[in-house]
Structure 1
């Protein structure tokens, strides 16, 4: 105990000795010329209004217009083109070439989207009028081909489009009003959707996809139009929800703190919740030139008309170029910032395309009537300095955990000591260990992220523990304590048969393999965000340290490690919450006011929508998932037999349940505080953040003083490593007791110890490999993925224990039938319904028990 107390004191002291200097974060937006369009030497300087998109990792620029001869103020004629250019990126830079394939007719001013395989071109016009044919540009072998695939709805003039799954949403105007149509790529059919409830926006309004924290959404930004009252410019931002077919007004475009119209900007989704808006025109000069043009057309006096023409020419020639600034709109906090600035005018009337981590902007119009053939690349980087004090805190923590393993390795000489700790663990330590095991990095990161993105709808989910504790104590605990076995699944053999035990143990191990990978990847992601270290290196570091201390010291090292980690993570969360609220302008009062206004405290949503975390979904899902964890999860059940007697185990369970309530309040409050803090300080957000689950470590990175940040990152490691070590030890226990000891006759205690340690190493290694693979996938929410695995692989386990404890008539065949049916039901739910993943545990548990009970009438009584 003195050793453990010393380690806790050392880690906390390192945090308290921190130098209170803010870390800060800086976003660098750099625009560089990376090439030029291969334009013919005929005065053709570039293209505006071309159809642009990525096809087979190459950028396609089709059509467009220019004034190759005289300019607009010289009464020059606009020329439309049918040329198609191909831009290819490589290690030596971008290369561009003119394709031998052409559009069927010259076109410019339409809109286009790409699904990666083809570029879909909608609308546009030329000297002969508007185009109503939909074209696709795709590769056939190494040759581009253009096909006509559809025609536009009658009278519809497209302005902008966005791709969502296999459907293209096209915004435009029809009959002088806004219109929105859905075009199915697979069927080629058109369907109407709710139009934007604004004045007609017919030009220069990009339509962009991005997640808003709750669901997928599209954003219609700025633009211009004309109605009976004349020409007007828009500063509005409209959000469209495709699932609900509903529009809502968001914060207007804000430039220098003022609502500012913006048209023909380039806009692309970037990161998990930002839209980068590049350049554009505020329209002030455009309105002036339009007014002069109308006066010239209406003027009958030659001298006055010539004077007006001269003034119009001066307005064109003296124009300094379109906006050279880069803006970022954050969909969750509904805020605008200026992210950067170029040293030259940025092109408008073109389309920017995200290629990898960079944004490519081909050609376009740099000032009225003047095109540019340059190909630009926008690179966005976020730089953070972590500091040696923070590194020292983390290293001290990791070394401390290694020390725990070495200390208890001297005692873990028998399987009883390695798996049960000799049943001498204090009840309070077991309770904290259960709490720390359940409070994984998924809780530490994803719950604040959920509250930050949405609301407190998931709070009820976490309160299920208060309902479950008395049920576990009264019905389940007597069985586990009476049997006094290392593996919980031995009960299933005594109640049903050996095959049921083997099956349950196998599925538990499968779940642990998935869980180990997820809880290992999350803190590695946090470390990567904070230090810039490669995420794969972080996975190896975390995995090896955890493997070392939990395989050396057994369950005692795991439990006392959990105690240390529990103190660190709770202390870190409290420090973070206090610092976060104190950093909000107006403090707690402002947090409450903003959270109420933005409906962040929504908990009791009694609507019967099984696709969302409403009250019924979170209540049933929370009860089911807690029941599964505390009755069939070996990593938790194993703690029940490490305490001397049943009374101590009961105290430990109640301690865990009581701790869970205030800790849940803390983590949800952190999420709400993050929302208010970043709403007040949107410039501190990481524009390129690829996963919003990283928002809490990002705040730690940019908002906390040196040293305290290191302590908080250590807390994230603690949250993950407590779960990871418990998972490795419990899986090792199951594989040793349920497979090795059962299948190897006359297995010695020494042989089981050797097998247990090597199995733990193998499990940890496998988890590391799977975490590396997980790092290559784009996962919107690791919390949702975790619940899917939990429901799919463990609800059947909970059903087996429930059938065994609460019924007598269900036998082996009925139990296996229920188990199989629960998996089938969950697979059907996942593939053919939109039911919330929060309910997967409940659905699996109920379907397992009900089908098992019903089948018992066919198979007869069990034992």
Structure 2
């Protein structure tokens, strides 16, 4: 086997260009129809009228990016099929997001998830969370844009920065003019293209190798079929426990509290639709990871006797997938272009979600509170912000070029930065004693611990045996170029343990545990600090700010017993109780009233002025507005 010289042909460019045109066209359509994105509610929240199916597919596309298309098959090729266990983890993640986090956000009807932090703690904590989120998303978007561009440049001859700018500009364009509706519907289109790209590789590979049964047999012989790594050592890169526990914390930080996902939940017509969307997303995630795993096995079966990386045909393992596509699909006009479109669809869907969420957070957390613009001006500012963040993300692609393996780099970023953010939300929703000082100390403690282990791992790489690298061969390569390959068994240390120092061993921890370490350290230091500085009195909290975790987990217990588990947080009142108390006293918790659909004009002391507007629901009818005189 020799290095192939296949490059993009005319039909490939046509198919790829069509994908970009359709994505841009969806943005133009939503800029011209409906309310034409003239209000912030329509632009940032899609009028809160989206259905479960498109939102579910959008949730799926948001973080199943080009990193998934490139990184997951390459990971299976190098390390085996343990990664497939993420398919199980996703169901636990979506259950937790749907029933522990979503109810809080949906009842509050927020635009920015970080508004919750201000209501629960104070504005300082909110801004700390906001800027941490900015750092997380900008780093991630840089990886998402750079990874597919680099792979294409090395394998197909596609211009590196031409690919970066094509992805960045098209995405920025339709996000800027079409708002969240355009983002969601392009996500639906793009996830369809991603699945088509995976299927093209699996079907053609199976035909060439005499059926998928042969692929499975070759993979078993090469040690790639592995589902039984149940070792509890946290240094094992991919074990059942690192994927289930570490992966759970990593992905709950994404699907539970990340603004990109929360914004989609809140665009749904009802909380039930939002929860259904999450379960649609769970099945979609399982499908995507299964297809990506199968592509990795196809890749191994094709290159089992001539590894393109060891032979020097590609410079990074992330380039293996497009190399395979150009190798086995080059004779089919337009099919390589379809896979490239699938890869860029993943990038576009993730970048568009990120840009829209960054605009929402900056607008709600910084621009509105400090400048208080009019509705029309605020919508215009949001569009400028989206465009600016899009250009900045293109610039961050350079930073991404320094981070190595894209799949591990992406998940590490979400663990190291997303973990502490998840910890702060958990302190607010699950621990009613946490005060604002504890939240800030917890956030920075979590960031400190996660960066300590993450940066330390760059200086003390994990011992080779914990990586799970599988044997590879170059026996049938006819023109091998000498490289230092991570699969070369001669590079494995001969000592039983590479590090004897406890701190150095700590750095060998699997990257999947970064988020768990960050969350646990955030919770520990946040709670300890809260009790030292004076814990929050749970009885003074708005129950709408606390997650219904005990009502979900202990649903079989009597209501009185469950209330005891609420640790002093007052029970939520139903709508009638809210209305009755408001009418009798003229004084009520403003946040709770807004949670229950009660709108009122409050004075500086918290008293209602004149009239209160109460949203009432009657059986299956649409909600109605009823005006009542308070008598004050």
* TM-score, structure 1 normalization: 0.54
* Equivalent residue, structure 2, for 1:652: 277
Give the C-alpha shift of residue 448 in structure 1: 0.5
CA distance in 2, matches of 1:717, 1:532: 16
* Equivalent residue, structure 1, for 2:175: 550
* Equivalent residue, structure 2, for 1:595: 219
Q: Which of 69, 79, 84 matches 1:454?
A: 79
8 Å contact 1:634–1:730 — kept in the other structure? yes
- Is 1:741 equivalent to 2:368 in the alignment? yes
- Is 1:604 equivalent to 2:278 in the alignment? no
* Equivalent residue, structure 2, for 1:226: none
* Equivalent residue, structure 1, for 2:620: none
* Equivalent residue, structure 1, for 2:528: 854
* Equivalent residue, structure 2, for 1:103: none
Give the C-alpha shift of residue 556 in structure 1: 0.4
8 Å contact 1:610–1:617 — kept in the other structure? yes
* Equivalent residue, structure 1, for 2:587: none
* Change in 2 beyond 3 A, CA 1:438/1:589: same
* Equivalent residue, structure 2, for 1:409: 31
* Equivalent residue, structure 1, for 2:517: 843
Q: Which of 113, 120, 128 matches 1:495?
A: 120
Give the C-alpha shift of residue 667 in structure 1: 0.7
- Is 1:808 equivalent to 2:432 in the alignment? yes
CA distance in 2, matches of 1:688, 1:662: 31
Give the C-alpha shift of residue 475 in structure 1: 1.8
Give the C-alpha shift of residue 462 in structure 1: 4.2
The C-alpha deviation readout for 1:568-626, integer Å capped at 9, x for no partner, is 11122122211122222x42222121222222121221223322212221111111012
Alignment of 1:376-455 (within 5 A): 383-410=5-32, 411-455=36-80
* Change in 2 beyond 3 A, CA 1:860/1:461: farther
Alignment of 1:215-364 (within 5 A): none
CA distance in 2, matches of 1:581, 1:860: 64
Query: What SS does the corresponding residue of 2:323 show, helix, strand or coil?
Result: helix
- Is 1:795 equivalent to 2:422 in the alignment? no
The C-alpha deviation readout for 1:301-330, integer Å capped at 9, x for no partner, is xxxxxxxxxxxxxxxxxxxxxxxxxxxxxx
CA distance in 2, matches of 1:447, 1:844: 24
- Is 1:563 equivalent to 2:185 in the alignment? no
Alignment of 1:640-719 (within 5 A): 640-679=265-304, 687-704=312-329, 705-719=332-346
The unaligned stretches of length 5 or more in structure 2 are 457-503, 542-632
CA distance in 2, matches of 1:470, 1:582: 38
* Change in 2 beyond 3 A, CA 1:420/1:847: same
8 Å contact 1:463–1:622 — kept in the other structure? no
Q: Which of 741, 765, 777 matches 2:391?
A: 765
Alignment of 1:159-198 (within 5 A): none
The C-alpha deviation readout for 1:216-246, integer Å capped at 9, x for no partner, is xxxxxxxxxxxxxxxxxxxxxxxxxxxxxxx
- Is 1:510 equivalent to 2:132 in the alignment? no
8 Å contact 1:678–1:685 — kept in the other structure? no
Query: What SS does the corresponding residue of 2:304 show, helix, strand or coil?
Result: helix
Give the C-alpha shift of residue 682 in structure 1: 5.8
CA distance in 1, matches of 2:238, 2:315: 24
The C-alpha deviation readout for 1:700-740, integer Å capped at 9, x for no partner, is 11211221111111011101100010001100110011100
8 Å contact 2:175–2:356 — kept in the other structure? yes
Larger Rg: 1
CA distance in 2, matches of 1:686, 1:434: 39
The C-alpha deviation readout for 1:256-306, integer Å capped at 9, x for no partner, is xxxxxxxxxxxxxxxxxxxxxxxxxxxxxxxxxxxxxxxxxxxxxxxxxxx
* Equivalent residue, structure 2, for 1:828: 452
Give the C-alpha shift of residue 761 in structure 1: 1.4
Alignment of 1:570-589 (within 5 A): 570-584=195-209, 586-589=210-213
The C-alpha deviation readout for 1:634-674, integer Å capped at 9, x for no partner, is 01110011111111111111111112112211111110110
* Structure with the larger RCO, 1 or 2 (CA within 8 Å, 6+ apart): 2
Give the C-alpha shift of residue 470 in structure 1: 2.1
CA distance in 1, matches of 2:182, 2:29: 8
Query: What SS does the corresponding residue of 2:172 show, helix, strand or coil?
Result: helix
CA distance in 1, matches of 2:273, 2:308: 51
* Change in 2 beyond 3 A, CA 1:802/1:683: closer
Query: What SS does the corresponding residue of 1:463 show, helix, strand or coil?
Result: helix
CA distance in 2, matches of 1:478, 1:382: 53
* Equivalent residue, structure 2, for 1:727: 354
8 Å contact 1:580–1:673 — kept in the other structure? yes
CA distance in 2, matches of 1:683, 1:490: 49
Calculate the aligned-residue CA RMSD, in Å.
Answer: 1.8
* Change in 2 beyond 3 A, CA 1:791/1:684: closer
* Equivalent residue, structure 2, for 1:753: 379
8 Å contact 2:155–2:314 — kept in the other structure? no
Q: Which of 393, 400, 416 matches 1:774?
A: 400
CA distance in 1, matches of 2:385, 2:150: 26
The C-alpha deviation readout for 1:126-145, integer Å capped at 9, x for no partner, is xxxxxxxxxxxxxxxxxxxx
CA distance in 2, matches of 1:685, 1:583: 23
Query: What SS does the corresponding residue of 1:687 show, helix, strand or coil?
Result: coil
CA distance in 2, matches of 1:526, 1:556: 30
Give the C-alpha shift of residue 752 in structure 1: 1.4
The answer to which structure has the higher strand fraction is: 1
* Equivalent residue, structure 2, for 1:484: 109
Give the C-alpha shift of residue 680 in structure 1: 5.4
Query: What SS does the corresponding residue of 1:599 show, helix, strand or coil?
Result: coil
8 Å contact 2:153–2:159 — kept in the other structure? yes
Give the C-alpha shift of residue 686 in structure 1: 7.2
The C-alpha deviation readout for 1:783-823, integer Å capped at 9, x for no partner, is 12112211221111101111111111001011111111111
The unaligned stretches of length 5 or more in structure 1 are 1-336, 340-380
CA distance in 1, matches of 2:399, 2:531: 45
CA distance in 2, matches of 1:589, 1:461: 23
Q: Which of 243, 247, 253 matches 1:622?
A: 247
* TM-score, structure 2 normalization: 0.74
8 Å contact 1:684–1:702 — kept in the other structure? no
Give the C-alpha shift of residue 773 in structure 1: 4.3
Query: What SS does the corresponding residue of 1:457 show, helix, strand or coil?
Result: helix
Give the C-alpha shift of residue 751 in structure 1: 1.8
- Is 1:818 equivalent to 2:445 in the alignment? no
8 Å contact 2:101–2:257 — kept in the other structure? no
Alignment of 1:67-82 (within 5 A): none
* Change in 2 beyond 3 A, CA 1:504/1:657: same
8 Å contact 1:520–1:768 — kept in the other structure? yes
Query: What SS does the corresponding residue of 2:82 show, helix, strand or coil?
Result: coil
The C-alpha deviation readout for 1:40-84, integer Å capped at 9, x for no partner, is xxxxxxxxxxxxxxxxxxxxxxxxxxxxxxxxxxxxxxxxxxxxx
The C-alpha deviation readout for 1:69-126, integer Å capped at 9, x for no partner, is xxxxxxxxxxxxxxxxxxxxxxxxxxxxxxxxxxxxxxxxxxxxxxxxxxxxxxxxxx
8 Å contact 2:308–2:320 — kept in the other structure? no
Alignment of 1:122-137 (within 5 A): none
Give the C-alpha shift of residue 387 in structure 1: 1.0
* Change in 2 beyond 3 A, CA 1:683/1:428: closer
